[in-house]
Amino acid sequence: MSRTTTMTVRVSGALSEFVSVNVGEGGAYENVSEYIRDLIRRDKERAEREAFDRLKAELNRAFAAPEESYKPMTATEVISRNRRA
């Protein structure tokens, strides 16, 4: 079940003006909440894309490594190693 959280965000100056241009009549969003939700979604997608790109790079390095450099590891060892990285 999803949970709704109410947050208060304060912006002023140039940031406030920028938000005003993007919200309401002539803007891309009907209200500030819609704008903020979209920004959060985009940031979440960016973070997920970066994590996926790191995984792809790790896999590419692994597949490019010579077979004799491989060593057996348990899932626990892999998870522990990746937490340190």
What are the residues facing 29 on neighbouring strands? 23
Q: Which residues of 51-77 are buried (b: 16+ CB within 10 A; e: fewer)?
A: eeeeeeeeeeeeeeeeeeeeeeeeeee
Please give the radius of gyration of the chain, using alpha carbons only, rounded to the nearest integer. 22
The pLDDT profile of the chain, 85 residues, written as one tens digit per residue, is 788 899 999 999 999 999 999 999 999 999 999 999 999 999 999 999 999 999 999 899 989 999 888 889 999 998 898 887 6
**What pLDDT digit, counting tens, does each position of 27-42 carry?**
999 999 999 999 999 9
Instruction: Provide the whole-model pTM.
Output: 0.69
